[in-house]
Amino acid sequence: MRTGDGMADGGTEAGGTVTEAGRAAAVGALAWRGGFGRLWSAAVVSRFGDALRGTALPLLAYALTDSPLLISLVTACGFLPWLFFGLLGGAVADRVDQRRAMWAVDVLRGGLMAGFALAVALDRASIALLLALSFALTTLQTLFDNAATALLPAVVSKEALAAANARLMTGQELAGRFLGGPLAPVLLALGAALPFLADAATYLVAAALVASLRTGPPAGRTATAGRTLRREIAEGIRQLWRDRVLRAVCVSVALGNVGIGALIATLVVVIKGWLGAGDSGYVVVTTGYGIGMVLGGLLAGRTIAAVGGRGRTLLLAGVLQAVTLVGLGTLRTVWLAAVLLGLFGFAGMVWNVLETTVVQQRSPAGMLGRISAAFRTVSVAGTPLGALCGGAAATAFGPNAPALLAAALLALGTAALTPVLQPPDGAPSGGGQIPPTVR
């Protein structure tokens, strides 16, 4: 959706106020020279390439076939591997050196994309090849993304995780939505193979940046002698369920992503059918969402400080998302819809930053890959289900129904977060902070 110690800010005093030492540690850890700068650059370059491919691939599919089913299957193949291999990717990420896994995967993906670009240039591309490529790239991504989540805490301090996640996500949003996406049609006009060749190059650049990182082996890596991947996956799921904070956030994500799936799949119906907007109006509304996402990343830290705790901020972000979707489904003004989706994107980005940071801070050493994989698998599973529900709702109740359905599900997901603000029995209230992990 939006996807150790507790969630309370690292470097905080008992009352939950960030100390000057904590701020200084966070700022120092995020100096651009060094590990984080290279990791950030790799993530942004890779996201730029993903946006080129993500925009060009459906357009190429449309040129190769007039079957809506086959075109939709290209997108579906970008989700299915998470259901089949997501948990496995997390378990493998906990066993291996995450840095090496990431650059090796990127080299392999770069090779696949270069080969595909050659096929396009020689006019040998087919819809079957597109389906196979989409499935293969996402299968490799299940290992890469889980390894990346597990690697970040080895590059920056715990105090800096929220700021690091915010900068990573903001950079990726800018590179993908405002650079890669708009550039893809331009490259396609110059040559059908160019977006895919550029994507291959970004994979290789990202691989070189990650390979240049110097990190020691992750602390507490799980011993694997005599242990099966199946057993290790089960341990990760059990740990996720035992931690009441992670469990509550996971349930919230599961409910919310059904709603997000309903909205994403029918957004064009909501904007054009309900608001009566044309193509330019559609661009205005979706651009508002992108601007909100970027601002959310830039201001995530200040938002958390202003609200007074990560727990309260999660709740507020969930409530704001639900309220904006109620407005989208009841008010029929294009410019107001752009503002509402901007607020929706802002809250969603803040949520994403906090959710990722929560998982990184609360996961025991050596289990972060498996726990983050469980989150991602839940996230992907809810999206196609929501898409079906959104289509059914629009058919039965009208073009505004998906927005209202999404609002209801996001409200339910936010309600599921209430337990994480309750301190353990006998502990004083944390003023909106999420209680520490009990190990």
Residues 6+ apart with CB under 8 A from 57: 74, 130, 134
- Dihedral (CA of 18, 19, 25, 31) sign: positive
Angle, alpha carbons 420-438-160 (nearest 5°): 75
Q: Which amino acid is at 176?
A: G
The rounded distance, in Å, linking the Cα atoms of 296 and 42 is 21
3-state secondary structure (DSSP) of residue 166: helix
Residue written as tokens 């893809």? 184
The rounded distance, in Å, linking the Cα atoms of 329 and 21 is 46
Q: Which two tokens stand for residue 221?
A: 């890596």
Q: Which amino acid is at 120?
A: V
**Side-chain half-sphere CA neighbours of 179 within 13 A:** 15
Angle, alpha carbons 107-210-290 (nearest 5°): 90
Residue 397's alpha-carbon distances to 256, 390, 392, 423, in angstroms, are 21, 10, 8, 42
The rounded distance, in Å, linking the Cα atoms of 374 and 83 is 10
Question: What stretch of H or E contains 28?
Answer: helix 20-29
Q: Tell me which residue of 237, 256, 278, 243 sits closest to 371, measured CA to CA.
A: 237
pLDDT for the residue 439:
26
Residues 6+ apart with CB under 8 A from 231: none
pLDDT for the residue 222:
47
pLDDT in tens, the chain (439 residues): 443 333 333 333 323 334 433 444 444 445 555 688 888 999 899 989 988 888 788 778 878 887 766 776 776 777 788 888 888 888 888 888 888 999 999 999 999 999 999 999 999 999 899 989 989 998 998 888 888 888 888 888 878 888 888 999 999 889 988 888 888 888 888 999 999 999 999 999 999 999 988 765 554 454 454 567 788 888 888 888 888 888 889 889 889 988 988 888 788 788 888 888 886 788 788 889 989 999 999 999 899 889 888 888 999 999 999 999 999 999 999 999 999 999 999 999 999 999 888 888 888 877 888 888 887 887 777 777 887 888 888 888 988 999 999 999 999 999 998 877 654 444 444 444 554 443 2
Residue 116 and residue 61 in contact, taking contact as beta carbons nearer than 8 Å? no
The rounded distance, in Å, linking the Cα atoms of 201 and 223 is 36
Q: Which amino acid is at 91?
A: A
**Side-chain half-sphere CA neighbours of 280 within 13 A:** 0
Alpha helix segments (H runs only) across 331-367: 334-362
Identical fold, 1-31+229-421+428-434 and 32-214: yes
**pTM for this predicted structure:** 0.74
Q: Which two tokens stand for residue 13?
A: 């005093």
The terminus-to-terminus CA distance of the chain in angstroms comes to 28
In whole angstroms, how large is the CA radius of gyration of the chain? 21
The rounded distance, in Å, linking the Cα atoms of 88 and 82 is 9
pLDDT for the residue 84:
86
**Side-chain half-sphere CA neighbours of 90 within 13 A:** 28
Residue 156 and residue 164 in contact, taking contact as beta carbons nearer than 8 Å? yes
Residues 6+ apart with CB under 8 A from 410: 1, 255, 256, 259, 260, 318, 321, 322, 325
The residue ranges of every structural domain in the chain are 1-31+229-421+428-434, 32-214
The rounded distance, in Å, linking the Cα atoms of 375 and 380 is 9
DSSP 225-284: TT--HHHHHHHHHHHHHHSHHHHHHHHHHHHHHHHHHHHHHHHHIIIIIIS---HHHHHH
Q: Give CATH for domain 1-31+229-421+428-434.
A: 1.20.1250.20
pLDDT for the residue 25:
43
Residue 36 and residue 155 in contact, taking contact as beta carbons nearer than 8 Å? yes
Q: Give CATH for domain 32-214.
A: 1.20.1250.20
